[in-house]
Amino acid sequence: MRDDLPTLAAEAYGYGYPLLQDLHAVGTATAFNAFTHQRSVPGTPNANPDLLYSIAQLDLSGGPLWLRVPDTGGRYHVVQFVDAWTDNFAYVGSRSTPDGEREFLLVPPGWAGREAPGAEIIRVPTMIATLIARFGAAPGVHALQDALTIERMYPRVPIDGLPQPQAGVPDELLFLESLRRGLAAFPPSPAERRYQRRFAPLGLSDGGNSPYPTLPRELRAALRDGLERGRDALEEAATTEHAELVNGWTNDLHAFDYNLDYFELGTLDAPQWTAPDREAAHRLRAVAARTRLWGNHAYEAVYPTVHKDRDGARLTGARAYTLRLAPPPPAAAGWSLTMYAAPGSRLFPNELGRHSIGAGTPGLRPDPDGGVTIRVQHEPPDDEPGRANWLPAPPGEFHPVLRVYAPGEPVLGGEYRLPPLVPI
């Protein structure tokens, strides 16, 4: 038995986890090549009250797809494109494309066509992909969601769907079998395929029948131990690898910079937005898939989070706070501060029905210098200006999240620093 098999298996776990996590999420969809629309803000953890989502799982094994994106009249929107390896490879929307109704032809790997009259071509790196559309949640948003459509170029051609593991594989090796099948169905870039050669001793490059049902017990034990080590290492990284705190805020601008190979419309192929090497990219990708599957690049939106006040104490409704944004975060598409109750990270029901406050909040009162002072507390402020800028907090612990859409360069470059929450 090769002594390095457990080490290789541990590395393969981190490498393959994003692909299998993505395919698991894709497999929960009821149909391919059609949008499912979120019509109201859900009561699930980390729900975003600013936006409504429309999600489509794509299977291009039956040929190209037409995507039509409506004219939003200036409303913030973005359609994010994610391949099977969780790489964000294209964006269509307010930041990246002019407003107006637009049509795109989404083509699969190996497509030989060259023209699509009246449409822009977006090349999809893998046969399976995900579209995540976000629209500003203002009146009329449902009509915009309904106008977002997908149409198959060849509707009668059957599609392959998701690969399935071969029967008879021991449970402890199903991860490797699913990864073997996924690698065959969704090969990555040539550079990644060269990297994958290191996993040949694990049987991941074996075509045809699976090697795992007939493995000797000793080899099965070595692979199982390696997979467990890889799982433990990913859990550790998911809880410890994060951006440095600044005034109590966590703002990781580069959590999704692991795409090194595919840059279609709306993506930025620049050193600032790509990991320095493939090893770093693989670590970023695994942690992102474990903690924030299908998140977007910081140049599309950032979500700083804060759990403690200026003095390092946990935020709680037993105290009142001010957050003075002077100036507010520079953003082409606006910003908002959303309240989440802890534990559970759910929106806090309150008498105002106000879950977030920001640039689009009616009646928000600016300070004389153009800044904004937000009151964060459980009880209503006594003064009228305070009530206008009040973000209701639960009686127990909480953590606000600031969302900045199409952030300006001071945010992306780190020059803009959020101030701490100050106890009153």
358-381: pLDDT as tens digits = 999 999 999 999 999 999 999 999
In the listed set 204, 223, 240, which residue is the last one of a domain according to the structure?
Answer: 240
Please name the helix (run of DSSP H) or strand (run of DSSP E) that holds residue 174, with its range, or none.
Answer: helix 174-185
pLDDT at residue 48, rounded to an integer: 97
The C-alpha atoms of residue 58 and residue 65 are separated, in whole angstroms, by 9
In the listed set 240, 265, 284, which residue is the last one of a domain according to the structure?
Answer: 240
Are 407 and 321 in a shared domain? yes
**Is residue 1 predicted with pLDDT exceeding 50?**
no
**Is residue 116 predicted with pLDDT exceeding 90?**
no
Are 320 and 419 in a shared domain? yes
Q: Model confidence over 21-54: pLDDT tens digits? A: 999 999 999 999 999 999 999 999 999 999 999 9
In the listed set 189, 222, 240, which residue is the last one of a domain according to the structure?
Answer: 240
Query: What DSSP designation does 344 have?
Result: T
Rounded average pLDDT over 293-307: 97
Order of strands across the sheet with 88-93? Answer: 35-37, 51-59, 128-136, 77-83, 88-93
CATH label of the domain that carries residue 314: 2.60.120.600
- Residue 374's identity, in one-letter code, is I
Are 313 and 233 in a shared domain? no
Are 307 and 417 in a shared domain? yes
Are 308 and 418 in a shared domain? yes
Order of strands across the sheet with 422-423? Answer: 390-392, 372-377, 321-325, 422-423
288 neighbors 256 (Cβ within 8 angstroms): yes
pLDDT at residue 117, rounded to an integer: 82
Please report the sign of the dihedral spanned by the C-alpha atoms of residue 269, residue 271, residue 275, residue 278.
positive
Q: Model confidence over 152-174: pLDDT tens digits? A: 999 999 999 999 999 999 999 99
The C-alpha atoms of residue 92 and residue 120 are separated, in whole angstroms, by 11
Task: Flag whether 363 is in a domain.
Answer: yes
Percentage of the residues of the chain whose pLDDT score is greater than 70: 99
**Is residue 291 predicted with pLDDT exceeding 80?**
yes
More confident residue, 11 or 116: 11
Tokens for 311? 């003095």
What contacts 190, CB < 8 A, 6 or more positions away?
none
Nearest alpha-carbon partner for 338 in 318, 313, 359: 359
- Residue 69's identity, in one-letter code, is V
Please state, in angstroms and as integers, the Cα–Cα distance from residue 216 to each residue in 1, 222, 283, following that order: 10, 10, 31
Q: Model confidence over 339-364: pLDDT tens digits? A: 999 999 999 999 899 999 999 999 99
Are 22 and 167 in a shared domain? yes
Task: Flag whether 82 is in a domain.
Answer: no
Name the pLDDT band for 3 (thresholds 50, 70, 90).
low
pLDDT at residue 424, rounded to an integer: 92
Task: Flag whether 392 is in a domain.
Answer: yes
pLDDT at residue 316, rounded to an integer: 98
Task: Flag whether 282 is in a domain.
Answer: no
Are 207 and 316 in a shared domain? no
Are 418 and 307 in a shared domain? yes
331 neighbors 412 (Cβ within 8 angstroms): no
Task: Flag whether 374 is in a domain.
Answer: yes
pLDDT at residue 293, rounded to an integer: 97
pLDDT at residue 361, rounded to an integer: 96
Average pLDDT, the chain: 95
Are 220 and 308 in a shared domain? no
The count of domains in the chain is 2
- Structural domain range at position 348: 303-423
**Is residue 190 predicted with pLDDT exceeding 50?**
yes
Please state, in angstroms and as integers, the Cα–Cα distance from residue 184 to each residue in 10, 196, 341, following that order: 20, 12, 43
pLDDT at residue 2, rounded to an integer: 59
**Is residue 254 predicted with pLDDT exceeding 90?**
yes
Are 309 and 385 in a shared domain? yes
Task: Flag whether 210 is in a domain.
Answer: yes
Are 314 and 412 in a shared domain? yes
Task: Flag whether 10 is in a domain.
Answer: yes
Rounded average pLDDT over 300-319: 97
Cα angle for residues 367, 337, 37 (degrees, 5° grid) = 135
